[in-house]
Amino acid sequence: MDPYKHRPSSAYNSPYCTTNQGAPVWNNTSSLTLGNRGPVLLEDYHLIEKLSVFTRERIPERVVHARGASAKGFFEVTHDVSHLTCADFLRSPGVQTPLIVRFSTVIHERGSPETLRDPRGFAVKFYTREGNFDIVGNNIPVFFTRDAIQFPDVIRALKPNPKTHIQEPWRYLDYLSHLPESCLTFLFWFDDWGIPSDYRHMEGFGVHTFKLLTQNGKDTYCKFHWKPTCGQKFLLDEQAVIVGGTNHSHATKDLQDAIASGNYPEWKLYIQTMNPADEDKLDFDPLDTTKIWPEDLFPLQPVGRMVLNKNIDNFFNENEMLAFNPGAIVPGIYYTNDKMFQTRTFAYGDTQRHRLGPNYLQLPVNAPKCSHHNNHHDGFMNFLHRDEEVDYFPSRFDPVRNAERVPIPRDVIHGRREKVCIPKENNFSQAGDLFRSWPRDRQDRFIKRFADAASDPKVTHEIKSVWLSYWSQCDRSLGQRLASRLGMKSLL
């Protein structure tokens, strides 16, 4: 074994127990004591090490997306999009790229049931030849807010009361009553959509607007959509109670069992595209994460397929330590001025450095699978063996050079510093369109769920009135039917 190339791996397990230093442990069931009944000795190195590792084996829980399940597979290009992007992993039909996916619930704790009403995370990490590309999305195509400065408040309002540790409807109804733009996401959340039957029957969305770039710098706005080939399925409230009461990890088990049996889950990747020159022609801001792009105006275009054909080897290594970052892009794909997107490119990496440490990208599940090199040396838990004498750039003693230039957007940016909302809010029309697209029984279920939440004793008449105003502006009949259910006077 070459000690300079060897990396810790279960492939090199010894046939007997050892300390973390590799020394053999001849008794792993009894502490070292003074006599057979005497006090335990501090010199029992293995005992101290074993206890110390155990008390530290839980890393901080994710603030959001704590409950998750992962699987590995590949992405295969099925349609030529080289006229839109120079991204290497999309270069031609037939190209395959390894990847890992993490599905999750957003609000609730790591041990919570997977049947709770909650948005779901749908995050994909592509291990491309030009570095990692992360699409860090959800199963809902929009978000509650369009500005990331409000994100901590949204999550705190949705999480349990800090005094009681109970999730209470009055808190999120109070907060979101200040955000009329949240209506569309609220409709998805309280619709049947809010409880997917499992992860295999769940759609995924990049949510943000990305930019696709060709080699000569031509840019196109883009949204990513994942469609399961087996279709979408949801659990109604009564079904969720039964399923969750039977197995609180039902979705994780379903995913693992399907892959283990060879019934590999598959999703088709579609994109919507828009010419940036056309963005001002719409009655909404296409970079607004509280809005969808109507498919009749921006049809779905097929790109490829994702197949999950391998279960993870270890839950901690490949789920708990799996870390995504919307800032992880590759040449040919770029950010837009979407306020949420811009801020998440910083926030996610910052979160991972706090939760996992500054060298979290050296962990095998997060490390790129292509050759890479930089001068990011040292720091906590740096386990990358290095023997360079030069740790700066540039240097005449080190032949490393800058990579070939990659395209970036060329648009000219100008304006004064502002802290304002976007000009085109249009908070209600898309929510109304979605509500009217549902059959009557589905509308009734949404109204019942919202009325039940609004019946929380701490939801004041003022808060109810604000929501009635919002829902009435989305759809007159929605406001009237909800008012009747709440025993209030319709506002329109």
- Give me 416's structure tokens: 């004064």
- Give me 70's structure tokens: 């992962």
Cβ atoms of residues 185 and 142 within 8 Å:
yes
Q: Which of 237, 230, 181, 222 is nearest to 203 (CA)?
A: 230
Distance CA 272, CA 253 (A): 33
Distance CA 30, CA 113 (A): 37
Q: How far is CA 47 from the centre of its chain?
A: 39
Does the active-site annotation cover 250?
Answer: no
Distance CA 343, CA 148 (A): 6
For residue 135, the surrounding DSSP H or E stretch is strand 131-138
Number of neighbouring beta carbons within 10 Å of residue 94? 9
Range 426-445 burial, b when 16+ CB lie within 10 A, else e = ebbbbbbebbeeeeeeebeb
Cβ atoms of residues 185 and 143 within 8 Å:
yes
What residue numbers does the annotated binding site cover? Answer: 348
Q: Which of 323, 278, 320 is nearest to 298 (CA)?
A: 278
Contacts 24+ apart (CB under 8 A), 430-434: 430/184, 430/284, 430/291, 430/292, 431/183, 431/184, 431/186, 431/187, 431/474, 431/475, 432/473, 432/474, 432/475, 432/478, 434/184, 434/187, 434/188
What is residue 294's DSSP assignment? P
Residue in 138, 139, 319, 427 annotated catalytic: 138
Does the active-site annotation cover 165?
Answer: no
What residue numbers does the annotated binding site for heme cover? Answer: 348
What is residue 261's DSSP assignment? T
Cα dihedral 66, 67, 71, 77 in deg (nearest 10): -70
Beta pairing class for 333-334 and 210-213: antiparallel
- Distance of CA 416 to CAs 110, 285, 413, 419, 420, Å? 43, 19, 10, 10, 11
Distance CA 306, CA 276 (A): 28
Residue in 46, 65, 208, 250 annotated catalytic: 65
Q: Which of 73, 139, 17 is nearest to 311 (CA)?
A: 73
Q: Which of 447, 456, 458 is nearest to 483 (CA)?
A: 447
- Which residues fall within 8 angstroms of residue 368, CB to CB, at 6 or more apart? 127, 131, 132, 361
- Which residues fall within 8 angstroms of residue 139, CB to CB, at 6 or more apart? 119, 120, 121, 122, 193, 196, 202, 203, 204, 205
- Give me 352's structure tokens: 């991972």
The residues carrying an active-site annotation are 65, 138
